[in-house]
Structure 1
Amino acid sequence: MRALIALLAGTIFGAGLALSGMADPARVRAFLDLFGAWDPTLAFVMAGAITPMVLAWLIQRRLPRALSGDAFALPGTRRIDAPLAAGALLFGIGWGIAGLCPGPAIANLALAPFAVLPFLAAMIAGMLLHRLRAAGR
């Protein structure tokens, strides 16, 4: 059941990314080009995502556990520290340069697999580097 829920959620998420234009690197870069040919359409996509997310958080607070039967995996802290800020900065720089972030990159495997492979390779390398660094602490 858990795998089915994950597959369904991932399919809906990927379709939403593709339909909204969030998986189109050119559109993302145009959204980030505030002083050039700015394309505000992704702002509406992000704003439209807020309502279902607020509803999901309200529903989650009332549920004892997830629909799959597992406990909710919620962050243990709300503290903003240097590693979080550095990670957010790196994420933003990468998003601006490539026009992709992990979700749309994976969705783009179905739309433009060869174009997204360098990004995915770099993303996986970064994840492995982080794990190696965390294991060495």
Structure 2
Amino acid sequence: MSLSVTEREAFLTEPHIASLAVDSGAGRAPLAVPVWYDYSPGGEIRFLTDSESHKARLVAKAGRFSMLVQRASPTYRYVSVEGPVVRSDPTTIEELTRIASRYLPPEAVSGYVQGSDLHVLVTFRMRPERWLSADLGSLG
């Protein structure tokens, strides 16, 4: 059963690891890689990466990407979202801290942020256009 707008947005605010997919060019399957991300209901999806990474180059070239987040434990639930890149900017310490805080224990965030090189990080922002979602536990 599809999730409501409120349910799918709430699910995206949880700290799931996302699978990002982006066009890899003619004759190639899409690149699909795990990423940390951030999302606020009604807003843009944000993820950061090394600006020189293969992933960053492909996202910049394609100008759009999709993300899938899922929960495997009962009930199985997923949200897939696709849309255009609306901005890419050098990552700020605030963005890095916010995303790291979603995934790391509080005592590990400061060390992670201090050990990261902000000079090489870029934050991509995507405006969701297309959504797919389901909670398969509601099928029974």
Instruction: Please state which band the TM-score falls in when normalised by the shorter chain.
Output: under 0.3
Greater Rg, structure 1 or structure 2? 1
**Hey, which of these two has a bigger chunk of strand by percent?**
2
* TM-score, structure 1 normalization: 0.22
* TM-score, structure 2 normalization: 0.22
